Structure 1
Amino acid sequence: MANIVGVRFKNVGKVYYFDPDGLDLEMGQCVIVETARGVECGEVAMPLRTIEDGETPKPLKKVIRAANSDDLAQIERNRQREQQAFSICEAKIAAHKLDMKLVDVEYTFDNNKILFYFTADGRVDFRDLVKDLASVFRTRIELRQIGVRDEAKMLGGLGICGRPFCCSTFLGEFQPVSIKMAKEQGLSLNPTKISGTCGRLMCCLKYEQEAYEDLLRRTPKQGAAVNTPEGRGTVVEVNLLTGILKVKIDKSDGAARTFTKDQVKVIRDQSRGERGDNSTHKGREEK
C-alpha cells in the first residue's frame, strides 16, 4: 500500500501526485515539492489517501515540507516580479517586431527560471528575444507557445451563458470535443452558437454526451420502421430527451400518431438497414 496526496500548482490546473512522506497535510495547505521544473510550491488539492502499490501513477517524489511564512512571502514576491517581467517582455516583443501576443508570465518558486506564455498564428523565431530577456533577468528563460483554449483558461472571462469560463473555474484538464457531439445533441451547427469565446467548440458539449449516446442507443431513429399498438408505421419525428416519437401509420389517413419509445418495436432502421429484436431499439452509435 502507498500513501499519496494530490497537489495543484495553479488555481484550476492539473493535479499531480506526491508521496506525503509521513506529513499530516490538509486540503488547501501549501507544500513545497520537487518537480521536473525544480522546487515548486503547490496547494494540496486531494487529501491523503491510500492506494495499492500497483496503482501508483509512477515513481512518486516526496513532499519536501509544508510551506512556512517565508515560503508564502517568496510566492508573493514572485507575483510582483511576474507583473514587472510581463511589462518588460511586452516592450521587448514590440522592439523586436514579433507577431506574438504575450499571455502570462510565471516565475518558478526558486527563481531559477521564468516562463513566458504566448500565442501566435504560426511559428515565431524568438531566439533574439530570449537572449535579450536573459540579459535583463540574468536567469533561465523559456518561451512557451500555447493554444487559444489555454489562453482562455489563463485569462478567464464570461462565456455566452453569462457564467465564468468552465476552464478557468473548475476544469482541471481539457476534454476532447467534436462536432459530432453537437449533431447528436440536436444543436445548431452554426459555429457562433456552439463555439466558446476562445473560438473552439464549447467544453460543455462534453458534459451530457454520455447521456445522449445512451439515449441514441435506446431510441428508434427517424425513418425507422416500427410496430406500434395501432399497427406498422414509420418514425417521422423523435424527441430524445422525452422519448416521445411521432409515427406515421402505414394503414391510416397519413396522420402521425404519438407514442413513447417503450410502446414501439423496431422492425428496420432505414438509416442503417438494421433489423430490430423483440426488445426496444438497440442501434449502434453512428460514426
Structure 2
Amino acid sequence: MGCSSCSTGKGGQPRGCKNNGTCGTDGCNKLTVFDWLSNMSLPNGEEPFDCVEVRFKNSRKEFFRNDRNLSLSIGDIVATQAQSGHDVGMVTLSGELVRVQMKRKKVDFKDEELPKIYRKASQKDIDIWQKCRDREEEIKKRSREIAIILNLQMKISDVEFQGDGSKATFYYTAEERVDFRQLIKDMAKAFSIRIEMRQIGYRQEAQRLGGIGSCGRELCCSTWLTDFRSVSTSAARYQQLSLNPQKLAGQCGKLKCCLNYELDVYLEALKDFPSQDSKLFTEKGLAFCQKADIFKGMLWFSYKDDPANWHALTKKQVQKILEMNKKKEKVPSLEAYAVEQIVEVKEHVFENVVGQDSLTRFDRPKQKRNRNRNKNRKSSNRNNKRSSNQNNRRKGSSNKKPSKNG
C-alpha cells in the first residue's frame, strides 16, 4: 500500500514520502493494523475502551490510557506521557481491538500505572518534533565519530528523539559489554541533551533499518514480523539445505527467519519417512542411505563395498525391508527392489513472440563479418576511384582548347 505522498514523481520515478514508515496518512506504515470494527456502533450502555495504541519511530508501539475521553482516531498525532517531559506519537489503533492487542502482548489494561495521553498535539508540538527528527541523521553521524575516537567496539545504528527534544535514545549493537560512560559525557556536552543508551540485537537492528532480502522483497522483520523466534541449523538440515552460511544468513548476519516458515511441513512429512541413518541388510552386503527426497518419497542406497552405484527405493519398500531386518531376515539384493527411473527429455520450443533476434546470434564467429566488411570497403573504394578517374578525364577533355585549324 502507498499513501498519497508516496506517488510517483517526474519521469515516472518513485518520489516517496521519506518518513521511514511514519507518514501522516498511515498508508505506508510498518505493522499497521486494520480496524475492522470502526464502522460498528457499540451496544446500548457500553462505553468505548479507554486505551489506545500509539506508534513512535519505526515499529515501537506502546499503549496509553485516554482518561480525558479525547475523540481519537487512527492517524491522529498526540502528546503522551514520558519519564520526563512528553513524547509525540501517532495513534495506530483505538476501540475494542486495543483490548485484544493488550491481551495478546500480555499488558494489563486495568493497571493504574499505565501512561496517559495528555492532549492532541498542537502545531507547535509537531514543529518541535519534526525539527528533532531532522537532526537525527547528523547527530548519529557525529556520535559514530566520537565512538571511533574513543576506540569503542560498538555500532550506533539509530537515534530516536523524544517528542519535546529533551532526550535522545541511541540504539547500538556490540559483541561484548561496552563501557560507554565517557561516550555519554562527550555526547551530552556536544549535543546539550540527555542521553540514553540502549543495546539491541542484530535482528532488531535489521528491523529498524529495513532493507531488501535475497528474495527481492522487503525484509519480513521490517514489514509484518513482530516476534523473533530462535532459528537453528537443524531447520536447514530437516529441509535438506546445504549448510552454507553465506546463503542461510540474512542481512543481520544471523540465520534467516524464513527457515522456520516451512519447517512444520517438513517435520510432519518426516514422521512416517525412514531415517537417513537407517541400514539395510541384504545377502549381497550392507547398504547405507546416500540421499533422500521427501517430495518424491524416494531414497537412494548403495552397498558398503560399492558406494558409487546408487539404487533408488520407494519409502514403502524401505519400510518393508526394515521390518524384515527386524525379524532377522535378509532380502536377496537391492536390485530386486530398485525402481527404474526413466527420464523423459522434452524438447522446449520457444516462440519469438516479441520479435527479438536469435539468442545465439552472439555465438557466431565475427571474422566472416569483418571479412565481408573489408571486401565491401575495398569494392566501394575501387568504385570510388573509378568514378573519380572518369570525372577527371571528362574535366580534362572539356578543358582542352580548340585548335587553330579547327
| TM more than 0.5 | yes
Hey, what does 2:107 align to over in structure 1?
A: 57
* Structure 2 CA distance for aligned equivalents of residues 266 and 32 of structure 1: 72
* 1:45 to 1:184, Cα distance in 2 relative to 1, 3 A: farther
The aligned length equals: 252
Hey, what does 2:216 align to over in structure 1?
A: 162
* 1:149 to 1:18, Cα distance in 2 relative to 1, 3 A: same
* Structure 1 CA distance for aligned equivalents of residues 79 and 322 of structure 2: 64
User: How many angstroms does 1:219 deviate by?
Assistant: 4.9
* 1:237 to 1:124, Cα distance in 2 relative to 1, 3 A: closer
Could you tell me which runs of 5 or more consecutive residues in structure 1 were left unpaired when the two chains were aligned: 226-233, 249-253, 271-287
User: How many angstroms does 1:202 deviate by?
Assistant: 0.6
User: How many angstroms does 1:61 deviate by?
Assistant: 3.0
User: How many angstroms does 1:184 deviate by?
Assistant: 2.0
* Structure 2 CA distance for aligned equivalents of residues 258 and 27 of structure 1: 57
Equivalent residue for 1:46, pick from 66, 80, 93: 93
* Alpha-carbon contact 2:170-2:197 (below 8 Å) kept: yes
Q: Which has the higher contact order (CA 8 A, sep 6+)?
A: 1
Structure possessing the higher radius of gyration over alpha carbons:
2
SS in 1 for 2:96: strand
User: How many angstroms does 1:77 deviate by?
Assistant: 0.6
CA RMSD of aligned residues (A): 3.8
Hey, what does 2:297 align to over in structure 1?
A: 244
Matches within 5 A, 1:84-233: 84-217=138-271, 219=273, 221-222=275-276
User: How many angstroms does 1:200 deviate by?
Assistant: 0.5
Give the counterpart letter for 1:214 in structure 2. E
User: How many angstroms does 1:218 deviate by?
Assistant: 5.6
TM-score, normalised on structure 1?
0.69
User: How many angstroms does 1:196 deviate by?
Assistant: 0.7
Give the counterpart letter for 1:208 in structure 2. E
Asked if 1:75 corresponds to 2:135, the answer is: no
Which protein has the bigger strand share? 1
* 1:223 to 1:26, Cα distance in 2 relative to 1, 3 A: same
Superposed CA offset, 1:104-123 (max 9, x none): 22211122321222333433
* 1:221 to 1:43, Cα distance in 2 relative to 1, 3 A: farther
Asked if 1:8 corresponds to 2:55, the answer is: yes
User: How many angstroms does 1:69 deviate by?
Assistant: 3.1
User: How many angstroms does 1:177 deviate by?
Assistant: 1.6
TM-score, normalised on structure 2?
0.51
* 1:139 to 1:258, Cα distance in 2 relative to 1, 3 A: same
Superposed CA offset, 1:37-82 (max 9, x none): 7632223333421648x94722233333333433322221111222
* Alpha-carbon contact 2:88-2:164 (below 8 Å) kept: no
SS in 2 for 1:181: helix
SS in 2 for 1:109: coil
Moved more, 116-125 or 75-84: 116-125
* Structure 2 CA distance for aligned equivalents of residues 105 and 94 of structure 1: 17
User: How many angstroms does 1:164 deviate by?
Assistant: 2.5
Equivalent residue for 1:30, pick from 77, 83, 87: 77
Give the counterpart letter for 1:33 in structure 2. T
Q: Percent identity?
A: 38
* Structure 1 CA distance for aligned equivalents of residues 321 and 95 of structure 2: 51
* 1:63 to 1:192, Cα distance in 2 relative to 1, 3 A: same
